[in-house]
């Protein structure tokens, strides 16, 4: 169909590829990767519970370094003074970053993301500090040469697509601290920090069209609202160029009386941050989070601040069972090196998916997401047209496993992914009993494939 206006945009359907993909890689890399500092110990949800003023002063996100630096008495301000001196400003990180990125190998990134089992990549092209990761025809009017010395957007897009992965772009919509010098310190300053000037509106719009036209991004991932303009013009242009494209939910703008346009609240998927939804949601969703508590690399974080592989895999299964995708962030070091603790988690996830990918990719939520065995082992469900997948979130201790409230058809076959033999099973009234193989391998989770799929009105 041809997209022409608000009504037609609202009819856009989430494409199958995005439903099927399940796993994407988020990348936060920029000037903030030079100091690579933030307060540790709390993730976003825990930090926000302390109140917004305390949160912004002790922000766990390293990519918010510039804002934290501008807050009097913040740990970041003290760190910066001790490390670099009082006369060293944020822009002095530019030559350091541009020298270090000469070492970056985008091919290695693409190979790692592919091994991790990701199906798409979302690169931060401009974060809130306003620094550009591509040689835009529309340079920053406030700062000269406020951009990377390499075309990071173009080089990475090329390598990612070579691996068969989709490419998408993040852009900081309303926040740009090269235009706005006052820091965000609390709820009021957060709301007021967005840039509304005609100069910035034209600047941001030009960037989105450039990312669409020059780099062919198939995911538009805007952050913290958009500028006061008709974003539907961008949406219609994008969908007509890429009908299989998707748009996230962070474009909404609080309209004022003088604004003569429709507020953009269309989206293909919602984006909870450091949060997993508790139930199956009909609307497609994608949770995003770092492997640690920061998106940008934070050299202060220790290994215990990062998710271990087993916890991540179980979280990922839970997300998929409830109609979600996981956009898992990597925070590279300034020279483009992805820290070993992050690499290890990605590779372990990929190894698990090599065996269990059939229970994840191309699946949809079943009639229920969660189940449990009589021994208290948690279960998650996914389905395809032909099969139901029952995924155990830990290793069973007994040789027989009884899953509560699961009835399958009499002619069903049950297979454990990664094991070629059929699994013996029996129906114990409303419960399903499975015989566990003697040579059960160690794994964070186990996927049992039941074919044909039970009728959804049985349970």
Strand order, beta sheet including 431-435:
400-403, 431-435, 425-428
Structure tokens at 417: 């992914």
Report the C-alpha gap between 362 and 383 in whole angstroms.
9
Q: What are phi and psi of 401, to 5 degrees?
A: -125, 130
Q: What is the pLDDT of residues 422-431, one digit of tens each?
A: 999 999 999 9
3 state SS for 364-430: ECCCCCEEEECCCCEEEEEECCCCEEEEECCCCCCCEEEECCCCCCCCCEEEECCCCCECCEEEECC
Q: What is the pLDDT of residues 82-118, one digit of tens each?
A: 999 999 999 999 999 999 999 999 999 999 999 999 9
For each of the domains in the chain, give its residue range(s) and CATH number, in order of start: 6-359 (3.20.20.80), 370-451 (2.60.40.1180)
Structure tokens at 154: 């173009």
| Distance of alpha carbon 402 from alpha carbon 391, whole angstroms | 13
Which of 417, 437, 440, 439 lies closest to 425 in space, CA to CA?
437
The first and second tokens of residue 271, run together, are 């984006």
Q: Are residues 414 and 349 in contact, defined by beta-carbon separation less than 8 angstroms?
A: no
pLDDT by residue, tens only, the chain of 459 residues: 899 989 999 999 999 999 999 999 999 999 999 999 999 988 888 888 899 999 999 999 999 999 999 999 999 999 999 999 999 999 999 999 999 999 999 999 999 999 999 999 999 999 999 999 999 999 999 999 999 999 999 999 999 999 999 999 999 999 999 999 999 999 999 999 999 999 999 999 999 999 999 999 999 999 999 998 889 999 999 999 999 999 999 998 877 777 777 777 899 999 999 999 999 999 999 999 999 999 999 999 999 999 999 999 999 999 999 999 999 999 999 999 999 999 999 999 999 999 999 999 999 999 999 999 999 999 999 999 999 999 999 999 889 999 999 999 999 999 999 998 899 999 999 999 999 998 899 999 999 999 999 987 543
Structure tokens, 30: 């920029």
| Residue whose token pair is 């509560």 | 404
Q: Residue 270 has what DSSP assignment?
A: B
* pTM reported for the whole predicted model: 0.97
Q: How many CA atoms lie within 13 A of 9 on its CB side?
A: 21
């Amino acid at each position: 169909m041809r997209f022409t206006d608000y009504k037609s945009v609202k009819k856009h359907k989430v494409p199958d590829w995005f439903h099927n993909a399940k796993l994407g890689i988020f990348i936060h890399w920029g000037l903030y990767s030079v100091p690579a500092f933030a307060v540790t110990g709390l993730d976003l949800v825990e930090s926000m519970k302390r109140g917004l003023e305390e949160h912004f002063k002790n922000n766990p996100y390293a990519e918010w370094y510039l804002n934290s630096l501008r807050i009097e008495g913040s740990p970041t301000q003290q760190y910066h003074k001790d490390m670099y001196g009082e006369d060293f400003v944020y822009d002095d990180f530019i030559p350091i970053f541009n020298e270090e990125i000469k070492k970056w190998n985008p091919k290695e990134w693409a190979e790692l993301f592919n091994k991790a089992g990701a199906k798409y990549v979302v690169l931060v092209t401009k974060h809130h500090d306003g620094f550009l990761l591509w040689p835009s025809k529309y340079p920053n009017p406030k700062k000269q040469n406020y951009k990377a010395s390499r075309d990071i957007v173009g080089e990475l897009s090329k390598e990612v697509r070579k691996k068969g992965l989709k490419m998408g772009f993040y852009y900081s919509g309303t926040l740009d601290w090269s235009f706005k010098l006052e820091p965000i310190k609390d709820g009021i300053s957060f709301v007021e920090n967005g840039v509304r000037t005609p100069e910035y509106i034209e600047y941001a719009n030009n960037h989105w069209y450039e990312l669409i036209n020059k780099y062919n991004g198939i995911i538009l991932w805007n952050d913290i609202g958009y500028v006061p303009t008709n974003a539907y013009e961008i949406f219609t242009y994008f969908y007509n160029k890429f009908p299989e494209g998707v748009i996230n939910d962070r474009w909404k703008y609080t309209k004022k009386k003088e604004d003569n346009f429709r507020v953009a609240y269309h989206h293909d998927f919602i984006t909870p941050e450091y949060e997993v939804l508790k139930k199956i949601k009909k609307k497609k969703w994608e949770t995003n989070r770092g492997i640690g508590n920061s998106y940008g690399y934070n050299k202060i974080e220790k290994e215990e601040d990062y998710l271990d592989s087993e916890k991540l895999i179980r979280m990922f299964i839970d997300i998929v069972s409830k109609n979600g995708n996981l956009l898992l962030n990597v925070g590279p070091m300034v020279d483009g090196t992805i820290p070993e603790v992050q690499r290890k988690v990605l590779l372990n996830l990929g190894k698990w998916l090599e065996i269990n990918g059939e229970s994840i990719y191309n699946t949809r939520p079943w009639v229920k997401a969660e189940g449990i065995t009589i021994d208290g082992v948690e279960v998650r469900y996914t389905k395809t047209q032909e099969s139901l997948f029952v995924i155990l979130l830990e290793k069973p201790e007994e040789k027989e496993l009884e899953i509560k409230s699961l009835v399958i058809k009499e002619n069903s076959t049950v297979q454990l992914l990664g094991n070629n033999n059929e699994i013996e099973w029996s129906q114990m009234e409303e419960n399903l009993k499975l015989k566990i193989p003697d040579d059960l391998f160690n794994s964070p989770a186990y996927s049992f494939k039941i074919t044909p799929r039970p009728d959804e009105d049985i349970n």
